[in-house]
Amino acid sequence: MLFTLFWTFFKIGFMSFGGGYAMLPIMEHAALSHGWLNTQQYSEAIALAGMSPGPVAMNSAVYIGYTAGGWAGSVFASLGMMLPSAIIMFLVATIFYRVYDNHWVQAALNGMKPAVIALIAYAAYTMTIQSGLVKGLSISTYASAAICIASLIAMIRYHVHPLVIILVSGIVGIWIYA
């Protein structure tokens, strides 16, 4: 079990590009296919990981590892998630500055950017559907959309700190959904 956790998260960490949110669909597939979490548990894990300090992918690995194998599972999943980044960054730091200006490297990076955005959008979509807040058009759906749009505007236009957005959204959620 521990080796499976380590190896699964090592592969996720090694093959995923674009940061923690881009890893979420791959992590979801792994957690569900191994039976470590069900869909509802995964959705709750990501919500908790996103609100906790630190990288969402690492927080998710800790949670999934703990659910699957206790404290040892969280350590093995965390090591599996962390080691690929450490290895890759070491290699990149020693090589990348030499090839960064290469036309082919720039072209590959430009091609990856839209795919990473799509992975993040997919994670947002699946979290929205799995949260249970959106079940067709209702007052609840419109309220969720309004909170989302207001949060986005507050961050982009007024540079409101994300922690303030989370706290205010929680208060508004209590007012609307309680």
**Does residue 17 come out as left (phi exceeding 0), alpha (psi in the -120 to 50 range) or beta?**
beta
pLDDT digits (tens, 9 = 90+) for 67-77: 999 999 999 99
Q: How far is CA 141 from CA 137, 154, 160, 168, 177, in A?
A: 6, 20, 24, 18, 11
Question: Taking the domains of the chain in order of start, what are their residue ranges?
Answer: 2-132, 133-178
- In order of 26, 97, 162, 170, 172, the CA distances from 142 in angstroms are 29, 48, 22, 16, 13
Mean pLDDT of the chain: 87
- Percent of the chain exceeding pLDDT 70 equals 96
Q: Which parts of the chain are beta strand (E)? A: none
Q: What are phi and psi of 35, to 5 degrees?
A: 75, 20
pLDDT digits (tens, 9 = 90+) for 10-36: 999 888 776 777 788 889 999 999 999
Distance between CA atoms of 11 and 4, rounded to whole angstroms? 11
Q: How far is CA 117 from CA 19, 29, 51, 96, 109, in A?
A: 10, 19, 21, 23, 13
Which tens digit of pLDDT belongs to each residue from 121-167?
887 777 777 776 666 667 777 888 899 899 999 999 999 998 899 89
Residue 61 C-beta-side C-alpha neighbours within 13 Å: 30
